[in-house]
Each structure stands twice: as structure tokens, then as C-alpha cells.
Structure 1
Amino acid sequence: MNKWILYLLLATVSIGQAQTSSSKTALTAIISNIEKQFNVKFSYAVEDVAAITIEKPAADLTLSQTIEYLNSKVLLNFKALDNRYVTVSVLNKTLPVCGIVFAQDSQTSLPGASVRIDDSSKGTVTSKNGGFTLENVALDATITISFIGYESRQFTANELFAQDNNCKKIFLKPSKEELNQVLINVYLTAGLQKYIDGSTVLNTKKFGILPGLVDPDVLQSIQALPGIESTNESIANINVRGGTNDQNLMLWDNIKMYHSGHFFGLISAYNPNVTNKVVVSKNGTSAAFSDGVSSTINMSTNDKVGTAFSGGGGVNLISADAFLEIPLAKNLELDVTARRSVTDLLNTPTFTNYYQRSFQDSEINANIDDKSTNSDFYFYDFTAKLLFDLNDKHAFRANIIGINNALNYAEYSNPDQSESKISTLSQKNIGYGGSWKAQWTDAFNTEAITYFSRYNIDATDYRVPTDQLLTEANEVLETGTKLNAFYKVNANLSLLVGYEVNETGMLNQTTVSAPAYSSTIKGVLLKHAVFTEAEYNKNNTYLRLGARLNYFQKFDKLLVEPRFNLRQQVTKQFALKLEGEFKNQTTTQIMDFQDDFLGVEKRRWVLVNNEDIPIATSKQSSFGLEFKQNKLNIELTSFYKIVDGITASNQGFYNSFQYSNANGSYTAKGIEFLANKTARRFSTWISYTYSTNDYKFDSFTPSTFPNNVDIRHSVSLGLNYDILENFKISVGGIWRNGQPFTSPIEGNETVKSGNNTIVNYGAPNSKNLDDFMRFDASFSYTFNFSPTIKASLRGGVINITDEDNVINRYYKINPNDSNKTIEVSNKSLGMTPNISFRVHF
């Protein structure tokens, strides 16, 4: 008996559940029943009611009560015209909407996803838990939700109606265009992500804050990553796993750039407020890229045609900028930006510190208080991009970028300053590019890319004491075309085949008036490359395997470059990572100590000739362990890198090899560690790098000695904390060993070389500077002027404790005693505050 009672109870519950699950009925069916019950006729548009379901009204209601019930349940206006006709219309009203955005593949929330109301400037980004809320949204509005690496989705306002605080869960699919999925959504700070292939992605528009920064400076931000730092505190001299700055491939919207820094390297030359995405690869690079034997830094701007006019601008204590995104038609958009220094108009503490840091070892700084001299420095950059979508299959892009730094230095020859001798320095890089993306079938698409890049240094240095005029010019002209073809075999495997051709021309010219001297060196190099790779991503395995074949027409030389990138998820928490690559480089910078400009600019680009300047080649491998659980990410990576074909003139030696011409190599090996914990209101991290880095020049004695950037131990740590939803702070610090330097032989500091006296240096790089240590802090406060105008106020202090760090040391002959030397120590930035204010609409 008990058994039958149990069955009866279960059946009753099941029937109740079935009734509950089917308690809602299509509105069209309800309207049909009402028409029959009251002998009335409803007038409505089918599309207005087709998707709506509600509970049936009670059968004992009158017609007026039934209409009142319908008006309370749906966002439609039911109105009885008489006893026979009822009209149904869409309400002209607004409503609140909300949602929570998730990644469909990982089921994790997506903070920083873009939520925009089409045909308006209104929108927001998702919070750290992926949630968003918008008030007063028009009933007929369409809302587009997008996130990098995922397919966008569109919803009507009615679908996201925040009724009873019940927010819809929204799942975004990974983009069909790439198997390279996001592995870590928030990496150190919002806007920093990590891809499954090991590359790091910086999304500047969604960027949080990092210690000391008031803007998401592209080349400063990536120095928070292990293995990337600047030994001389200059973003124009980024050292990736022991390499020099010219060994980093810089791409801006597929244009190869030859200049990276404003203010002689202290500020990135790339406007961070218009850079949409930056991908940094230290190893295991795609076969589609060559050059940059140390790293690839691939920057790109907005690539989607919008429907709403938007823009913004900002100012800090160094520069001011503005940008506009202008829809010209439904499928056509123009994006323009401009930034200029304000330092020639406004003297700020930030500018003073940057100025003294840049010119501390130059004639300009030596005469900074001299009334008989005057200097004027400024910089600017601009970009423009035209986006045209022919249809949903073909997209065309055209863009331009311009960068300029200018310095004028006057020395007056009489007290009233009516006569002067002017010296000038101009650094420019301008680039033009275009692309055509075509989706021929669901599985096959192509991309054609072309670009032109021009870099110039033009200097005129009038040396008053000797009445000598020195002019210098360094010019780089490069054109490139690349064709990529992608084929998606299935959901897990894609193939890439491509061809690239580059032609690079370089000019170096020096002229001297007294005594008369002129030197002009020109070179042109044409390079062809074909490449292919396969990318596989399924379940716990990611594999990218590729190869690149390079042909140098001038030298009739072939170089084969294999590439390998594997990530294997071993358990839910642990993964193994293995990467390897061969790369080459045909351009390099040399340090010209004899023909420097006022002690400021010593670097020149030169082209390889496969003789005294050979093609630089690198071989690198790395192995890593990854742990991820409860938003705690721990990474441990070992690497081994050999770069061959470097030149002594490229390294900037301050020792007995300073003016030597020789070819050699360096070997860098070490371990990188990173631990990063994120939570709803904070993110904290600590990174540590141990590495050894040694030169080998067979013609030198000794032939092996420490690299100029041999930093054995380097530690960085930071904490971001959200005090309020719109008020955030960030604090952090850096500690590392001082870099190597070479001192004179004690008691025998100078030696005669012909008619000249030179420094008698001891063993190269046998000593180290004192340890470098710096603490930084910053804050960010956001607020709204109106529903469509947003603003942010950010402040930061670099070197908040005003540490006296020496970043370089060398020696020169004492002019008062040729048997003695003078020690010159270059200092890092002292305590340097900055503040920025930005508006976005």
C-alpha cells in the first residue's frame, strides 16, 4: 500500500510541474480566445505580439478587466475603441535593461565587454562579474554586446528588460575568425588579457590602471610583464629577454614602425587612447611575422564600422589629445586622432623632470641656466583611418600615422641675443597602410595588406667654440605587401598560407664644414617570404605549427624558420607550455659616438650587408608550467635564447670596445615567474625573473663577458584595489640588480692612442651599479556629466619615494688633468607626478 501511495504522490507532483511549465500561453492564442469569448476584433501588427507569452486571464473577467490585465502584463497598449474593436500598439516608452555576459566556451564571466545601444552614443562596459545595467532605454532600441575574440550579439530592449531585477544571462561564442581564444580575461589589471598561445593582449580602451601611470601607455604597460623591462628607464629601449630595443618588431595597423618614443624615449609615440588592441609575443610567434628577433609588438586600432558619432579628448601635464569616430554612411566610417605636447606652452613639474632626465648628459643640460642659450622642444602624433564595408563579405581599410619630435637649440653670440647659432633635431616616422579582408566561403577567407613607412632623423649642430657646422641625416624607406589565406578545416583546425615581399632602403649621411668632410652610405634590400602554419585547438590541446622560408635576393640566400607553440591542459588546474622559434632581422641600430647631436641622439638605423653587418638570427625555446584556480594564476617559464649576428657598434659599449667593429652573439637564459590573484575588488601580482646574459665576440679579449643588459634578478609587484565602483587605486614597485658597467684601471686611468688620450678601461662589464628600486602609485576616478558624456580623472606618481637610482655610468678624460678621468652617472627619474583628465562622448 505504501508503494502505491508513493507512486500516486510522484504522479501528482509531475502533473503539477507539467502544468507550471506550460502555464504561459502565446499572446496570439489568448487574443484569439478573447475575440471568440466577447465577439470583438483585435487590430495589431503580427510582429509586435508574435514572440510574447503570458499567463491566461481568468475566464470570469469582463472585457474591460481583461484589457486592463493585458496592459499590466506586456509592454503594449490595448485600447477598446467600442464594443466591437480593440487596437494594440507599441508603447512609446523607455525601460531599464540589464544582463550578465559569459564566455560560452569557458562559462566564465566577461568583464570589460562592450554594451552599446545602436544608433546612439549611449553604452557601457560590463563590470568585473560581467554584469551591466542601462536605464531609460527606448523600447524599440537594439543593443549590441561585443568582446574581443568573441562574436557580437544583438538584443532588443524588451529581451533585456530588467523586470524584478531578473537579468538575462548572455553567452558569447568564440569568434569564428580565430581559434586563438582568451585564456585569462583579467591579467594583472582590466584590459590586460592572455591568449592561449601565450601572447599578452592589451586592450587600452578597457584598460584599468597600473602603478604610476595616468594613461594606458602601450610600451610602459607591457613592462609589468616578466621578462620585459627597460634597463635605462626608457620605453624607447625595451629589453625583452635580454635583447635590445631595435630587436622588437613594432607594427601599427600592419605598418612597420621605426620610431617608438616621444621625449627621447620617455613616452610612447603611439597614442594609447586610440589603440584598440596590442598583442605582445615573446616566443612561439606566428609564421606570418618575421623581423624582431626578441619580440613582436602588434598594435591595432578600431576595426569595426560604427553607427554612432563618438569621440573624446584629454590633457595631462605633458600633452593633450583628441579623437573622433565619424560615421559617414551605414558602411563607412572615418576615425581621426591628434596629440601634441603642451610643454612649450606650459612648464610643469612633470615636464621639468622629463626634460632633465632626457638631456642630463648633453650640452643642453650643461647650459640649462646659461642666458646665452635657449632650447625649444615639442612633439606631436596623428592618425586617420577609413573603414569601408562593401558588404558582410568584404571589408576595406586605409590608414595613416605620423610621429614627430623637434628640438631647436640656440646659442647667442652677443648679450642682446640678436644674433644666434641655431642647432636643430627632427625625428619623424610616417606610415601609410591598407588592407582588404574577404570572406569567400564560411571556411575560406583571405587578407591582402600593403604599407609604406618612412623614418627620418635630420640634425644640424652648430658648434660655436670651433665655428663648425655638422649635419646628419638618417632615412629609412620601406614598402611591404602581404597576402594571407585562411582555411578552416573544421571547428578545431585551421590552416594559413601566405606570401610577403618587403623592400627596405636606408641612407646615412654626415657632412662637416670645417674641415670639409662628407659621407653618404646607401643600401637597398629586397626580401621575399612564403609561410604556412596549422592551428589546432580542441578540448585540452592547443597546437600551432608553422614554418617560414625567407629569400634575400641581394645575397642569394635562403633562411628557413620553423615555429612551434604547444599548450597542453594536464588537469583542470595545471597546463604545460612549450614554445620555439627561429627568426631573422635585416635592420639594426648603431650607436655613433663620434657624430652625436649635442650628446642627445646617437642611434642610427642601418641595413645589413651580409659582411661587417650580417643578418641577425635568433633561436629560442621555452618551457612553462601554468596553474589556474579560483582566479589565482601562477606561471613558471624557463627560456633559452641565442641571437647571432649582432655588431659591437649596435650595443653602445662604454669600454675598450667602444669604437671597435666586430660581429658576435649573445646568449640569454633564465626563469620567469608570475603569480596573479584577482577578485571582485582587487588584483595583486608579483613577478620575478632570473636570467644570465653573456656576449661572445671572438675577436675581443676577453671574448666572453656580461651583456650590457645582464640583469640577474628582477622583481616587480603591484596591487589594484577598487575602493568604490568608480574610484580605484594602484600601488607597486620594482627592484632589480644594477646593470653592468666598466671602470678604468685604478692608478692607470688613461692611455695615449696616437695623438689622443683615451680612457684605459679594465675588464668589460666586470662591475655592477647599485640596485635599482622604485615605488609608484596612481588613482582613477570616473564620473558622468550626463548619460552620454563620461569623464575620468587620473593621477600618478613615479618614484614616490624619490629614490636616487643610477641607470648608466661611464668615464671621460678630465680636461684639467689628462691622467685622470671623470665619472659620469646618469640618473633615473626622481619623484615625478602627473595627472590627466579625459572626457568621452
Structure 2
Amino acid sequence: MGKKKLLTYFLLLSLLLSFHMVSVGQDVRISEKYNQKPLTEILSQLTEKYNVKLAYDPVALSELKYTGKFSNDKIEKVLKAVLKNSGFEYVKINQVYVVKKSVAKIEKKSSFIQGIVRDRISGEALPYASVKVVNDNTGTVTNTDGFFTIQNMTDDSVSIEVSFLGFNPIKTKIARIDNSGSPVVVELDPKLFVISDVEVVKSISKLLALGNNPGEIVLNTRKVGETPSLSGIDVLAPLQLLPGVDGTTESLSGLLVRHSPPDKNLISYDGFTIYHINHLFGAFSSLNSKAIKDVRLYRGGFDARWGGRASSVVEITGKTGNEKKFVVDVGSDQLAGDITVEGPIGKKSSFILSARRAYTDYYRSPQFLNIFESAANDIKILNKSFTVFGTDPSAPSYMFYDANAKYSLKPNSKDVISVSAYVGKDRLNYAQLLSSPFVKELSDWGNSGIGTRWARQWNGKFYHNLTFGLSNFSSDFALYDSTLSKRSAQLFADTVIRDYKTSTNLVDYTLNLNTQFTLSKEFLLEFGLHANIVDDNLFEKYFRSTNGYVFIDTMRQSSFYSQLKTGWLQLTYKTKGLKSLKIGGRLSHHNLTDKYYFEPRVQMVLSPTEKLDLKFSAGLYNQFINRIYLYSTSVKYLWVASDGVNFPVVKSKHFISGISYETKNFTIDIEGYVKETSGLSFVQNKIVRTTNNRFVERSKLYLLDSRALGVDLLLKKTADQFEGWLAYSYSKSFNQSSSLNGGDEYYALDDHLHELKAVTLYRYKRWRLSSAWIYGSPKPWDEIILLPNLTISPDYEKNSSRLTPYHRLDVGISYSAQIFSEGMVEFGLKVFNLYNRNNILARPYSLTDTPISDYLQGKSIISYNDIYGLGRTPTIFFNIRF
């Protein structure tokens, strides 16, 4: 009996061990005999008896039967035998055996994986998401519509890691498909959401990240409101916190990227160009983050896909709208209110509509008056005690509005059709007629645009994106200023009159065809066509006199019709250790110069390890539509076209090299650059002494060449509740003109040796805290040194004097709470320039109001107008989303 009990216990233990091994799926062994048994019953038995995880269509297998015998055989051998000659095969995905229709000889042919990356919450496609093949150090990025293809796959399935800024990266396994199959959908979630058979890699929401190309930085539009900017929905304000972007201008209309003028930046929004991007004279941008899905800044050295600008590119992709449910978002601060509505239309289309309007023509908050006085620095506001809701006729009547709309249609899994629209306008009506100065200004300016787009992923190898954009920039500005200027120690008052008018109407038509042809796993061929027509009409008149004597009386009226036709080609090669090598170029013909222009480009990113990148780029860049800057006026520029005579084609050479090291929680990025630009134009008032010992101020056009060089450093640390970075730039900027400074090179007005930005974003439970401290070393100003006979002194050197250093601290705090079932409310306070630093941004010069009298009294005939930055400005805001 003892032996029998021992044998019984041994058998029971063996059975338990066998059952355990089967249950964990480590070594399943099958012993069965089948005689014309339906395939569905066999598979069902394998699931129930042997605990094998199977997925199959019982209807498709209902007519199939199998006869055979197995003795201690592995599950793979059993499945292969029972499916032989049935027209079906199996694929193992994450311990699940998926039975599917077989593809003839697929195991012997290289194939591909085609997919699309989407937002799990809204259903929107995610552009430029990273798709990495696990354990291979290779991969790709999604295109503008979220499609991706992994070529030359010989395995039935592959593990990939997918990531996109602001979403939880995941690892998952997907199977390859044939050319006729629909793309595999990979969904990312902006919240911590664990999905079956998917591994969440890291749940960290970042505001910014490095892109895949030299000079590229990506912004998370979901988090731009956490920065302490004047407007919580200003999508471009965080750009000024990046290395290489001047953060001391306090004006997005003056977005300076690596010491190039603002007009040298291309702002591309869903296929059309935006020429004017700001509200309130540059206090914040007119681009609403609630309507924007993706923002990418290319600080220079960009590839052959982009053209028409000589410095940098800001690529903006608008949201397509929530495809799963209706969402309403409402917000407000002391300047404006906004509303956003988005949702599905049927099963295949969606929409988004976002609008914002200022209260400033009805409610004049202290914040508005503070910003207005600083931004419109050439208008003197005498009455500082305007009633908040009153109708004081001497108070500035100013308002702005902007709106974004987009409709998207996806008729099938391969096509995307969309129509996008944008408008941003500012209006000012100001009259001070009760006492000197007597001022009257009436201005209306802004930008509108519309873009249509058709994109199609034809198959795993070919993709096209066709866009047509129409953009219109218009500006009508009229300022009349009559001032009674009393002379010191005298009762006599001089009458000084300024009368300035400008009118601009620019229409831009753009047609773009971009195509991608995946030649193999290593090679991607891109080519495209670009056509651009710009019709520009402008008028300018400036009159200035004292006691009837005219110092300035100029008028310009012109029109331009510019046609640019371009073809471009680019080949990308990548392999293990070489993330990308892009060689390409653009060939353009311009009608006004009747010449062809070739722009070669090259980019290379080496990856010796998974975390380390070595970067290099170089290229030539031409610009045919440029701004002419007009000093000492509210509207400081006019757009003109290069004609090869009065206005040359702006040409720029870029050289960039750098290194970046990036882990999940830490980033260090260093880029050095040299940029040489020729053909820059600007207008400056020149003081001239006439033959009858009088003085006049004449407007003259100067042509410049510029040279900028520097090093940009980014140190960034990220944790679960914290994100912070240091952005440091060491740089120099020079100008050179045969007509200025004796032909010698001199410092540009935007030159400053050091710039440092320290940014912190911290989240504690429902609280969010942020701070940004900005420091800039002194910038130049042009101090005119005259001899007693009012000729230029030999000691004078242009832009040789320096302003005081710039620095300020911005802070923010907010609290968010959940309302209803899925709603969210957020409110908070932001303070711009917390310690109220009195920063001088610029010091332009002009003739004094009474130059003859000043000269006779031995006084300087030149006056300097200090332009100050914004003082301490608090902003209270709230936002509701449901």
C-alpha cells in the first residue's frame, strides 16, 4: 500500500507539473488522434484542453476537416499540419496564435508593415511620430497624415516602439501585410492607459523635445499653456524660451532665429503661408494652441522640402477635430475670450472651429493699458485714469480677433482630404484731441488664409500630399500727430506735425506637390513641385514739419507680381548607425529676375549608440519676398519682391554641426552654426544738412550682408512631475555695407554675446507651477558722434554703444479640477516681469523737433527714443473643457 500511495502521489505531481507547464505556455505537447474532425473542433479542443491561446474565424474554417495523429508534438507542428493545404496559416503575436488566410510564398519574400498612428482619445492621426523597430536600432517616422511603412520584413511579425510628444510611448507587436491590406492602426494615449498586449514604456508628458533633424525642436501644443506667457493659448510664445531664438525682444512679430530678421522665417500653416502672426503690436501671437496639433521649429539647415525663406521654418499642423465625440472648450483672461468646438460628422469626417475675440474695445483693464503703452511706443497716452467700462473718447479703442476652422474627410483608409481656414485681425482707433500732443490714429491690419489638401497612401511604397494655399496680408495705417513743443526758458512753442500713412495688400497663391517613394528599407526618395505667385501692392507717405518747415516729405507707391516655379528632389539613406543621410536640392526660376537658382542641401545624423547623435547640415537658401523695415513708425515694414535691381534676391549659406545625448529623463544638445546672408534691405532715415544751413531727414534704402555665428546649448531634465531646462546661446552677429561705417563690418543691432533662459514646470497634484528667467547681455545702439560743424566724427563707429543688460522673471500658478463626468476646469495667475525690471529694448534716433534752433544754441540736433519693454503685468485666466 505504501508503494501504491507513493506511485499515486508521483502521478498526481507529474500531472500537476504538466498542467502548469501547459498553462504558462512554455512547452505545450499534443497527443491526439483525429479522423475527419472539423477544424473548428480541433482548435477548440486545443484551447480548452491544452490552454493554447488561439484567435480564428470559426465561420471561415467551418467547412474544413482534418485526419491525422500526433504523439507528444509541439503546438507549432500540430497547427502547421492541420492547416496544411487549407489556405490558412498561423502567426504568433504576443503568445497568441492567430489563424489567418495564407499569402502564397510570403515566408520566402520580403514584405512590409504598413500602419497609421492615431490619438486614442480623439482619433486624430499623429504626424512625425517615431516608429522604432525593437532590438534593431532602425525605424522610421510617420508622415503628415500619420502613415508609416517598415520595409523588407521577412518575419511574420515585428515588435515596434511608437512615441509622440505628449503621449505615452508604447511597445507592441504587429504583423506584416500584403499590398492590398488596410494599414495597421496603432493608438497612443495622452493619459496613463494600459492596453492588453501593449507595454507602456514611460508616462511622461513633455513640453518640448528634439526632432529627428539638425536644428529641429518640437513643441507639445497640449502643454504650451503651462508656460508663464501673457496668453495661455499662445502657441508660439514657448519658442522664445529655446536656444537660438531671441527671448529679449518681447515681440513675436520680431521672432529672431539665430540672428536673422523675422521675415526670413517661414510660417507654414496647413499648406499656406502666414505673413503676420501677432496681436497687440507683438505682445503675443495670433495662433491658437487649441486648434493646433503639431508645431515644429527648424532653426536652420532644413532639407530640400522647404524653400522660399532664408533662415528658419515654423511648420504648423492644425487639428482635424475629434473623430469620436463632441468636445467644447471655453476660456478667458483679461484681454479676450475664446471658444473651441470639435467633433465627428458622420463616420468618415470631422471638424474643428476655434475663435477668440478681445474685450479691449469694451473693457480697458490695467493689463491692456500697460501692454498698449509699451507696445505702441510711438503713441503718447496722456490720460492714465480711463474708466474701465466707460466711453472716454480719449481712450484707445482697440480690439483683435482670430479664428481657425478645419474640415477633414477620410473616405477610406488611404485618403485624407481637408480644408483649413485662418483669420487674424487687429483694429485701432485712437484720438487725443483735447491737449497737446493732438493724436489721431486709425489702423486695421492682419492675415487670413485658406488651404485645401489631398493626401493618399497609395500602398506601402508610394505616398503623395497635394496642397493649395491662399494667403492675404493687408494693412491700412494712418497716424496724424500735432505737438506743441515749448522751448526751455522761452514762452514760444513750436508746432511739430507728423503725418504717416501706409497701405499694403499682399496676396499669396501656393501650390505644393510632395511625394514619397520608399525604394527599400534603407532608401527613401522624395520629390515635388512648388509654384508660388505673390501679388503685392503698397503705398507709403511720411510727412514731418516744424513751424511749417518740412524736414521729411516722402512718398512711395509700387506693386510687384512675383512668380516662382520650383522642382525639388531628395534621397534619404539610413542604416544601422546612420540615422539618416539626406542629399537633395531645389531648382527655381523667378520671373522678375528671369534667372534659375539652385539650392543644394545635405543633412546627416550619425548614431554611434542608441542615445547619442552626431549632426551635420549645410545648404543654400534663397528668398524672393522680403520685408523692408521702416524705423520710427508703428507699422515698421512693407513687403517687397526681389527684382534684381532695387531689391536683390536674399541668399544665405548655412553650416550646422552638433551632438546630442538623450535618455528618457535627460537631454543635452549642442549645436554650432555659421550663417552668411547677402542682399538684406532696410530703410533708415539719414540726416542731411542743406546748402542754406537747414537740416532735413531723408529716407534711404541700404543693402547689407550679414554674418552670424554661435553655439546653442540645451540641458533638459524630465521627471514624473517636473520638466526644466537651461537654454544658453553664445553668439555674434555682424553687418557689412559699402555705404555704412566706411565699408567695414560692424555689430548688428541684434548682437548680444550671451543669452540664458532657465525654465521650470512643476506639477503637484492638481497644482501647476512654472517660471522662466531670461537674461541677455547688452545689445548695440547707434550713437551718432558729430563734430561742431555737424559732420560725422572720425571717432564714430556704427552701433558701437551698448544698452543695459536685459533680464526678467515670469511666473505662473494654476489649479485644475474635474467637473461633470469628463469635464475639466482650470484657473490661475501668471505674472510677466515679476520684479518689474525696466528693460530698454532699443534706442533709435531721429532729428529733434527744432533742429535749427538747437544748432544755434549749441545743442544736439539728434534725439534718441528709448523703447522700453513691458513692466510687471499680471494675467488672470480660466478654462473649461467638456
Q: Does 1:800 align with 2:841?
A: no
1:731 to 742, 767, 771: 771
Partner of 1:263: 280
Partner of 1:503: 533
Letter in 2 for 1:744: I
Pair 1:833–1:672, CA change in 2 (3 A)? same
Distance 2:41 2:584 in 1: 59
Asked if the contact 1:636–1:674 (Cα under 8 Å) also holds between the matched residues in 2, the reply is yes
Asked if the contact 1:397–1:435 (Cα under 8 Å) also holds between the matched residues in 2, the reply is yes
Cα-to-partner distance string for 1:335-386 (whole Å, 9 max, x where unaligned): 21111112222232321221121123x2343676798844211111112212
Distance 2:439 2:668 in 1: 59
Query: Aligned-pair distance for 1:519?
Result: 4.3
Cα-to-partner distance string for 1:2-49 (whole Å, 9 max, x where unaligned): xxxxxx9x9999746524325999xx989999xx9xxxxxxxx989xx
Pair 1:665–1:240, CA change in 2 (3 A)? same
Cα-to-partner distance string for 1:64-120 (whole Å, 9 max, x where unaligned): xxxxxxxxxxxxxxxxxxxxxxxxxxxxxxxxx9xxx99764699xxxxxxxxxxxx
Asked if the contact 1:102–1:171 (Cα under 8 Å) also holds between the matched residues in 2, the reply is no
Distance 1:304 1:368 in 2: 44
Aligned-partner SS, 2:742: coil
Distance 2:872 2:192 in 1: 50
Asked if the contact 2:248–2:776 (Cα under 8 Å) also holds between the matched residues in 1, the reply is no
Letter in 2 for 1:501: A
Pair 1:384–1:545, CA change in 2 (3 A)? same
Distance 2:439 2:801 in 1: 41
Pair 1:468–1:197, CA change in 2 (3 A)? closer
Partner of 1:146: none
Asked if the contact 2:383–2:394 (Cα under 8 Å) also holds between the matched residues in 1, the reply is yes
Partner of 1:569: 607
Distance 1:760 1:840 in 2: 65
Aligned-partner SS, 1:352: helix
Pair 1:652–1:340, CA change in 2 (3 A)? farther
Partner of 1:712: 753
1:332 to 324, 349, 356: 349
Q: Does 1:201 align with 2:218?
A: yes
Which range moves more in the overlay, 516-525 or 266-275? 516-525
Aligned-partner SS, 2:289: coil
Letter in 2 for 1:317: Q
Pair 1:213–1:720, CA change in 2 (3 A)? farther
Cα-to-partner distance string for 1:97-148 (whole Å, 9 max, x where unaligned): 9xxx99764699xxxxxxxxxxxxxxxx99999499xxxxxxxxxxxxxxxx
Query: Aligned-pair distance for 1:648?
Result: 3.5
* Structure 1: unaligned runs, 5 residues or longer: 1-7, 37-44, 51-96, 109-124, 133-149, 174-183, 753-757
Q: What is the 5 A alignment of 1:400-411?
A: 400-411=421-432
Partner of 2:186: 153
Pair 1:130–1:385, CA change in 2 (3 A)? closer
Tell me the number of residue pairs that the alignment of Structure 1 and Structure 2 aligns.
705
Letter in 1 for 2:246: E
Pair 1:217–1:154, CA change in 2 (3 A)? closer
Partner of 2:669: 635
Q: Does 1:439 align with 2:439?
A: no
Q: What is the 5 A alignment of 1:64-103?
A: none
Distance 1:255 1:229 in 2: 25
Asked if the contact 2:678–2:704 (Cα under 8 Å) also holds between the matched residues in 1, the reply is yes
Identical-pair percentage = 21
2:324 to 293, 301, 307: 307
Partner of 1:170: 198
Pair 1:14–1:435, CA change in 2 (3 A)? same
Letter in 1 for 2:227: L
Q: What is the 5 A alignment of 1:201-600?
A: 201-207=218-224, 209-212=226-229, 215-303=232-320, 306-360=323-377, 362-365=378-381, 373-412=394-433, 423-463=441-481, 471-510=501-540, 519-541=556-578, 542-593=580-631, 599-600=633-634
Partner of 1:826: 867
Query: Aligned-pair distance for 1:284?
Result: 2.9
Cα-to-partner distance string for 1:741-800 (whole Å, 9 max, x where unaligned): 01132775x938xxxxx9999321101111111111112322211222122223211111
Distance 1:364 1:192 in 2: 40
Partner of 2:96: none
Aligned-partner SS, 1:481: strand
Query: Aligned-pair distance for 1:620?
Result: 0.4
Asked if the contact 1:203–1:275 (Cα under 8 Å) also holds between the matched residues in 2, the reply is no
Query: Aligned-pair distance for 1:277?
Result: 0.7
Aligned-partner SS, 2:537: strand
TM-score, with structure 1 as normaliser = 0.76
Q: Does 1:768 align with 2:771?
A: no
Q: Does 1:20 align with 2:20?
A: no
Pair 1:16–1:800, CA change in 2 (3 A)? same
Asked if the contact 1:435–1:450 (Cα under 8 Å) also holds between the matched residues in 2, the reply is yes
Q: Does 1:601 align with 2:635?
A: yes
Query: Aligned-pair distance for 1:805?
Result: 1.2
Partner of 2:735: 695
Query: Aligned-pair distance for 1:232?
Result: 2.5
Query: Aligned-pair distance for 1:814?
Result: 4.3
Cα-to-partner distance string for 1:464-499 (whole Å, 9 max, x where unaligned): 578987542111111111112211122343211101
Letter in 2 for 1:521: S
Distance 2:867 2:688 in 1: 16
TM-score, with structure 2 as normaliser = 0.72
Aligned-partner SS, 1:709: coil
Query: Aligned-pair distance for 1:606?
Result: 1.5
Letter in 2 for 1:292: R
Pair 1:212–1:654, CA change in 2 (3 A)? farther
Q: What is the 5 A alignment of 1:754-793?
A: 762-793=796-827
Query: Aligned-pair distance for 1:240?
Result: 0.6
Letter in 1 for 2:810: D
Asked if the contact 1:211–1:718 (Cα under 8 Å) also holds between the matched residues in 2, the reply is no
Q: Does 1:751 align with 2:790?
A: yes
Distance 1:827 1:587 in 2: 30
* Structure 2: unaligned runs, 5 residues or longer: 1-10, 30-39, 49-56, 63-120, 122-128, 138-162, 171-182, 387-391, 484-495, 690-696
Partner of 1:810: 844
Letter in 2 for 1:153: V
Asked if the contact 2:221–2:292 (Cα under 8 Å) also holds between the matched residues in 1, the reply is yes
CA RMSD of aligned residues (A): 4.2
Distance 2:527 2:24 in 1: 53
Query: Aligned-pair distance for 1:727?
Result: 1.8
Distance 2:864 2:821 in 1: 59
Distance 2:554 2:750 in 1: 35
Letter in 2 for 1:647: S
Distance 1:167 1:330 in 2: 24
Asked if the contact 1:483–1:500 (Cα under 8 Å) also holds between the matched residues in 2, the reply is yes
Query: Aligned-pair distance for 1:268?
Result: 0.2
Asked if the contact 1:743–1:761 (Cα under 8 Å) also holds between the matched residues in 2, the reply is no
Asked if the contact 1:213–1:778 (Cα under 8 Å) also holds between the matched residues in 2, the reply is no
Partner of 1:82: none
1:669 to 706, 709, 712: 709
Asked if the contact 2:166–2:220 (Cα under 8 Å) also holds between the matched residues in 1, the reply is no
Cα-to-partner distance string for 1:537-567 (whole Å, 9 max, x where unaligned): 4333122221111111232211111111111
